[in-house]
Amino acid sequence: MASTFLSKPEPNQVLFEESSYARKIILNRPHKLNSLTYEMISQILRNLEVYEKDPTVKLLILKGKGKAFCAGGDVVGMVFTINEGHWSFGASFYKKQLTLDYMLATCRKPLVSLINGVVMGGGAGLSMSSMFRVVTENTVFAMPEAQIGLIPDVGASYFLSRLPGFFGEYLGLTGGRLNGNEILACGLATHFVLSKDLPLLEKALSEVAPWDASTISRVINGFSSKISLKKDSAFRRLETINKCFSRKTVEEILSMLENEAANGDNKWIIRAISSMKSASPTSLKIFLKSIREGRTKELKDCLSQDYTITCHMIRRSFNPDFFEGTKAKLLEKDKQPKDKIKVQEEVVLV
Active site residues: 73, 122, 145, 153
- In the chain, the DSSP E strands lie at 14-19, 22-27, 59-64, 68-70, 111-115, 118-120, 132-135, 140-142, 178-179, 191-192
User: Cα(39)–Cα(332) distance, rounded to whole angstroms?
Assistant: 27
Q: Virtual CA dihedral for 91, 96, 102, 106, nearest 10 degrees?
A: 160
**SS3 (DSSP) at 198:** helix
Contact 259, 321 (CB under 8 A): no
Spatial CA neighbour of 216 closest among 65, 109, 137, 104: 109
Amino acid sitting at position 290: S
Query: Beta partners for 19?
Result: 22
Q: Which residues of 274-290 are buried (b: 16+ CB within 10 A; e: fewer)?
A: ebbebbbbbbbbbbbbb
> In this structure, are residues 149 and 287 in contact, taking their beta carbons and an 8 Å threshold?
no
Q: 119 phi and psi, to 5 degrees?
A: -135, 110
Give the residue from 99, 75, 229, 102 showing the smallest Cα distance to 159: 102
Q: Hey, is 207 helix, strand or coil?
A: helix
Which whole-number Å values give the CA distances from 47 to 29, 42, 51, 184, 257, in the listed order? 18, 9, 6, 29, 47
